[in-house]
Structure 1
Amino acid sequence: MTTPPPTLAMVDDTAGVLAHGGGELLTDAELARAGAYRREVDRADYVAAHVLVRRCVAALLDVPAGDVVLRQRCAGCGATDHGRPYVQDRPEVHVSLSHTRGAVAAAAGWAPVGVDVEAIGRQLDDGLMAKVLSDGELEAVRNAGDPRAAFIRQWVRKEALIKVGAASLGRLRDTDLSGLPAHVPAGTPERARFDPWHVLDWLDPAHRYGFAAVSTHQTRLVTPA
């Protein structure tokens, strides 16, 4: 049986992405949404995420990033100013992107994919944890050597699953990921399965943010070009 081609994922600091340019590739709709952010740092994160996903698609298709046009469409109302992103004229390509304070992530592949990146906060919110973690996950987080990183690890996994329709924001406790690795070495991709999903975890070496990608195909973390 032929092994399906891997999904490609990228994660980087916002500044690292924008240092290579690419903001001019965004559509007018994307630029308008970026301009709606009040803080310059938030605008930068948005732009960097939309640049990075183009680079990810470009690597997947072996085309220039300038050839990649990103659009959005809401499955519920049909509007084009929000909703799931897609690549214009390439319906067979699946994409996902995410941004947090100072970091961005993206993925592209031939199968549904979801990614999330989140900054590791200074303190834990017990109320939030109780709402989104199963009993087993909550115990594992509280017993972890670094509970903040352990919580973010579960959070990004669940957010990525939401993006592929495998979890619901209002019922995150019902998605029990306590069987996945509790510890992810910083700077080293960690792979696991949550059938039928392949899960890729990554923790920033400086412990500033965590990242997860889920897809029905294996995901390969690649260095942004």
Structure 2
Amino acid sequence: MTADVLVRSVPESGSGTLPADGRLDIWMLRRPRLDEAAELLETGELSDAERERAASFVRPSDGITYASAHIGLRRLLGAYLGTAPQDVPFVREPCPGCAEPHGRPAVAHPDPPLHFSLAHSHGMAAVAVSSAVAGIDVERLPRDETVDVCTPALHPGEREELENLDVEGRRAAFGRIWTRKEAYLKALGTGLSRGPEKDYLGADPRRRPAGWTLLDLHAGPRHNAAVAIRGGVPEEVTVRWLPAEALYVGGIVDIGAGDRTTQGT
């Protein structure tokens, strides 16, 4: 099933431009070349905790992906809010399970609301920005062993769908299911602390959680991506690629620039 969505022009950035009701902005970015990243990435805009986290990865490529994703997030949110990237007021919402302040990441912006979600995996990152609660996920295409190990943990309806497919089709369908599931659980603010067997995120949109819209996103030949947004199908969905230069020292993020496409399932 394909959702009909309309892409319209987006205002130029300046003093800040928050997404209008009914609009969902998706930004995709790829990790910069490793031989350029250490010198060119503007890591000075990151918090001390973010820089420590980036340096803690065993594989340098994973650290560069993490740093790139968080620089991109800060610059994007800074453009929407009209503030410097290092001054974006991040907070944590209450946890749905215990009400402690370690739930979904958010920005302290009273009215109108601005919601975001960030995901990154193996050289790819994605950011969702909307006035409605949203969650986004991007995952590298799964291996057969991952499918075998994780399938028993899925919702019974999802397992039934996979059983009827050949090996290649099963791998592809599992990747889409798992990415939708991660996006939805991020939007809820629970992550995988909520068992993956509880919610159906399979191929039939009519069986998915009520009150939510799930959209599959094109993320190139090596990744799956999906976004979950509270409410019905957004009136406007804009998908753009953020160039690597926007993450570099002196780089600028223009939330009104770039190629615009529309996607959905």
User: Which TM-score applies when normalising by structure 1?
Assistant: 0.75
How far apart are the structure 1 equivalents of 2:241 and 2:83? 16
Q: Structure 2 residue aligned with 1:34, among 44, 54, 67? A: 54
Q: Which has the higher contact order (CA 8 A, sep 6+)?
A: 2
Give 5+ residue unaligned stretches, structure 1: 182-192
Distance 2:226 2:58 in 1: 27
The aligned residue for residue 151 of structure 2 is 129
* Aligned partner of 1:49 among 50, 69, 72: 69
Aligned CA distance change for structure 1 residues 194 and 57 (closer, same or farther; 3 Å): farther
How do 1:37-186 and structure 2 match up within 5 A?
Answer: 37-58=57-78, 60-61=80-81, 63=82, 66=85, 69=88, 71-73=90-92, 75=94, 84-87=104-107, 89-91=108-110, 92-124=113-145, 125-132=147-154, 134-142=155-163, 143=165, 146-165=169-188, 169=192, 170-180=194-204
In structure 2, C-alpha distance between the alignment counterparts of 1:24 and 1:5, rounded to whole Å: 34
Cα distance in structure 2, aligned partners of 1:54 and 1:44? 15
Say if 1:56 and 1:107, in contact at 8 Å, map to a contact too: no
- Cα distance 1:21–1:36, how it changes in 2: closer, same or farther (>3 A)? closer
1:53–1:108 CA contact under 8 A, matched in 2:
no
Structure 1 residues 3-41: Cα deviation after superposition (integer angstroms, max 9, x where no partner): 82312112222227x878443321222112222222211
Q: Distance in 2 between matches of 1:30 and 1:9?
A: 22
One-letter code of the match for 2:213? H
Contact 1:100–1:119 (CA<8 Å) still a contact in 2?
A: yes
Alpha-carbon distance between aligned partners in 2 of 1:203 and 1:220, rounded to the nearest angstrom: 12
Letter in 1 for 2:26: A
| Native 8 Å contact 2:136 2:187 kept in 1 | no
Segments of 5+ residues of structure 2 without an aligned counterpart are 1-19, 243-252, 254-265
CA shift for structure 1 position 212? 0.8
Identity of aligned residues (%): 30
Bigger Cα Rg = 2
Match of 2:30 in 1: 13
Q: Distance in 1 between matches of 2:173 and 2:90?
A: 34
How many residues are matched? 206
Which structure's residues are more often strand, by fraction? Answer: 1
